[in-house]
Structure 1
Amino acid sequence: MVLAPYRGYGSRSEVFLIGRVFRQSQADPAREHGLRSELRDVGRRLSRHSVAGATVTAHFYGTTVKVVTDPDGYFRVHLRPEAAPSPDLTWHAMDLVLEGPTPVEAQGQIYIPPSAARFVVISDIDDTIMLTGVANKLGMLWRLFVADAQSRVAFPGVAALYRALHAGHSGNESNPMLYVSRAPWGIYEVLEEFFRLHGIPVGPVLFLREWGVSWKSPLPRKAVDHKQELIRNMLELYKDLPFVLIGDSGQHDPEVYRQLVNEHPGRVRAVYIRNVSRDRHRIAQIEELAAAVVTAGSSLVLAADSVAMAEHAEGVGLVAPGTVGAVADERVAQDELAARTETREVKRGTPEQTAAAVEGGHLQDMLASGPEDAPPSVVVEPKEPRAADPQGLGDEKPELQDIGARHERQ
């Protein structure tokens, strides 16, 4: 019997954690190696036997709650700590016990932003941090289920960039890093190891759905609406902090982020989109996102590489001076043959004028030009964006409101 908590998150007034109870056959390291071992590991992950109706007790800062696993074996903890969580910690332990004749104990980790945090980063994983090729379904399934942490490929420079965003302009902000993925919960441990190997700051990994994957039905259901709701919940939970949204151009990130920017004007400081597609339909969606972002007075960076994101982030004070050099060095170390592409700009005096330039085709013309295998980076923003605190984008933190009912549906 396995009691598996996933990293949780919250505030000093309420916290959330998801976990799962299941049975799974054990691997035999002495017998298994190579591709056969990897395929057997895939089989074990897919054939985990959910334990429904199990009772899990959670203890956190003086509060104890009992929850019951659902038909898929998942449990969701939402509680309000009786004692105030330590302000000196960012990660806080939650003790868990699976009740039964032979109790099983585990400890979950809850991230609570410190007072020094100045913005929240929400980043996609697939084709944003790690190459998965979601447009190629068979390749995606192989990378999701078969590839281990060592064989998964991180985009060059992404680890240095994310470390800088987590540290912030002052270097000690510990800004929240929340990750979303189209993958199933079954590869959670693989992603944990991938982050560790590449030195990417850890944070709660929020999967877009429980796939219900089987050999007969291996492809995921659509999760666009779920992703929007998840990010809306984060915007409400951390309602005092601005957000930085990071995704890719290949799937639904531009559509999702455009909707969120329209719904929450002024909350999104910047949107960084890794440019992985030149499909005409995708360019049209990026144009709509760009118009929405600049109308709100924010910035869109359509980036061919991690350095382009770092250049903008350093320029607007999201990260410390020297970040661009660190990201560039890491990028070269990972891919010595990688060539930088030109960074172009769509900038006008006001948000309205910049949006009009986008709608007039200026962004589309830039994206359509240049070599096919080297798309340009493009920064789209008004010349006079909304003023921001260069040290961290704000000082005060009002009390966070209760959004427990929504989070419990995640």
Structure 2
Amino acid sequence: MTASEPHPEDTAKDPAPDLLAPARLGPLTLRNRIIKAATFEGVTHNALVSDELIEYHRRPAAGGIGMTTVAYCAVAPEGRTERHQIHMRPEAVPGLRRLTDAVHAEGAAVCAQIGHAGPVADPVSNRLPALAPSRYVSRAGLRVVRAATPDDIARITRAHARAARTAVESGFDAVEIHLGHNYFASSFLSPRLNKRKDGYGGSLANRAKVARGVARAVRDEVGDEIAITAKLNMDDGVPGGFWLDESLRTAAWLEEDGSLDALELTAGSSLLNPMYLFRGGAPVRDFAANFPQPLRLGIRLVGDRFLRAYPYQEAYLLDSARQFRAALTMPLILLGGVADRETAERAMAEGFEFVAMGRAVLREPGLVDRFAADRAAGRETRSLCIHCNRCMPTIYSGTRCVLVDPEPLRTRR
């Protein structure tokens, strides 16, 4: 059996929800059950909204998506992966309001992904220290990343609440809390990265305090004014990292806490194994082209040790996600290889409330409208995305599908 085939133990008696019909997400009603996943856009000059960023999200909104997700809105300046990213602050609100107005004008909802990059942050670019659960030497630049203090944890938790309030003021319909990919909260969950001896280390209950505390702080701040979702790793994809059994327990705690309206299931480590999430091609040469010599040559020679290639198949995270669907009652968002309409409808049949799509919508912003047209005509819908992942290195000049848009809208200065 492949991940894309129906599961023989699926005994749901209720009819599957209609993928293209309106659906509730907390206090929000989406026009359909398809969400544009958070994919870093690479066009936030000076850490503020640009016209390119607005267009990036307007296009899938015009193409029928239920909700588009703006990535990545850091909750603090040092929590950015690089200094051009937006961090949530009063100066960002006017631009964010222009963006949300543009998306709403096309009939879609809009979500802000909020989080702190922690050890994934670039301290050289940010000119601020990166933070991790425990002190370690980063492979990126061979710099020491310092351990977060309890005061840092409290400050970052409060910053998530303030970021959610800023999202409300900016007209967002939802926030997605980033608890994955070994960013700050996720790094605390990881036994490999978290070697602390205090109340934030050791047992899973201790390691989950940051993730649970952040989600609680956001809910306490905004209540039901907007929808609140979170992106949680099912596993880190690295030896000694956060794994499925601990993720299931953490997800159950998050459900018990009542802080979230839905959970989006993800995998992989931006710090240690980024391609584990994406699957498909590993464009090492394309990445190398963005760097000067001799770094370019080094990446071409040994980059495949970090950018490991994994074979692509439709719904490649579904096998793991099924275990969460069986254990939880809260709404779940299926991510990972959802590119064709039949795959998305299969997810509905297996009990998932929403699907999230990234590369397929980047390749074809009007894909959801094509879902509807093809279904009305009795045709299958196959995404045009070939999963080459050559979109990934374009984050340095404006994220795009190079097969459609070989040149960026504007080269970032």
* TM > 0.5 fold call: no
Q: TM-score, normalised by structure 1?
A: 0.30
Structure holding more strand per residue = 1
- Larger Rg over CA atoms: 1
Tell me the TM-score normalised to structure 2 length.
0.29
Higher relative contact order (CA 8 A, sep 6+): 2
- The structure where helix makes up a greater share of residues is 2
